[in-house]
Amino acid sequence: MSKTVLVPIADGVEEIETVSVIDVLRRAGAEVTVAATGDDLQVKASRGVNLVADQHIRDCANRTYDLIAIPGGMPGAENLRDSPELTSLLKKQKEEQRYHAAICAAPAVVFQSHGLISGKATCHPNFTEQLSNQEEVNSRVVVDGMCITSRGPGTALEFALKLVEILYDQEKMEEVAAPMLARL
């Protein structure tokens, strides 16, 4: 059974985090929708790489997703935080007890700002002081109920594989990781 995933993007998102999540989840067979929160489908990521979305976030409002995964990067996380459409989707996701994930600056800038973290989380070291719970801030990937968080570009592949394991199972995660030569 295919899982549905939304990956929103905005100017300034971190390339490695964005593409790793999209790529790994698609390798697992997930139906991944990349949605731009701005007016253009093409966004300029934090290191100047151009990314092209499948559709606008406003076109995602009436869909339900198994997972919404937020990339970090600055000012990308701020641009994602400031999207009313994305905020509504994320709040609905949490209320319906569906998975929501964020990496790098996004756990603090997006999730903490909108009250989407109710327990343990991690994020990029430059933003950990913004998290209300400091218990797991040094962990590479933290799963707390339906909320999954991670630290940054260096943990992006591990984060993406954890999302596969959560959406499917460990066997699927290992199946995706093996040909990528990823360490588990």
HEC string for 102-161: EECCHHHHHHHCCCCCCCCCCCCHHHHHHCCCCCCCCCCEEEECCEEEECCHHHHHHHHH
Q: Is the pLDDT of residue 1 over 80?
A: no
pLDDT in tens, 100-129: 999 999 999 999 999 999 999 999 999 999
**Judging by beta carbons within 10 Å of its beta carbon (0-12, 13-18, 19+), is residue 128 exposed, middle or buried?**
middle
Lowest mean pLDDT among 1-5, 62-66, 134-138: 1-5
Q: Is the pLDDT of residue 184 over 90?
A: no
- Which domains are delineated in the chain? 4-176 (3.40.50.880)
Annotated catalytic residue, options 60, 104, 123, 147: 104
Percent of the chain with pLDDT over 90: 97
104 is known as an active-site residue: yes
pLDDT band with cut points at 50, 70 and 90 for residue 20: very high
pLDDT band with cut points at 50, 70 and 90 for residue 137: very high
Predicted local distance difference test score (pLDDT) of residue 42: 98
